[in-house]
Amino acid sequence: MPVAGPSLRTLDVLIIEDNQDGADSLALLLRQYGHTARAAYTGPAGVRAALDDPPDVVLCDINLPGQSGLSVARRLADGLPAKPLLVAITAARADELADRARDAGFDHFFVKPVDPAELCELLAEHAEHQGR
End-to-end CA distance of the chain: 22
Superfamily of domain 12-130 in CATH is: Response regulator (3.40.50.2300)
One-character DSSP codes across 32-66: HTT-EEEEESSHHHHHHHHHHS--SEEEEESS-SS
Q: What is the pLDDT along the chain (132 residues), one digit of tens a residue?
A: 444 444 457 899 999 999 999 999 999 999 999 999 999 999 999 999 999 999 999 999 999 988 999 999 999 988 898 999 999 998 877 777 888 999 999 999 999 889 999 999 999 999 988 765
Neighbours of 79 (CB within 10 A): 12
- pTM (two decimals): 0.90
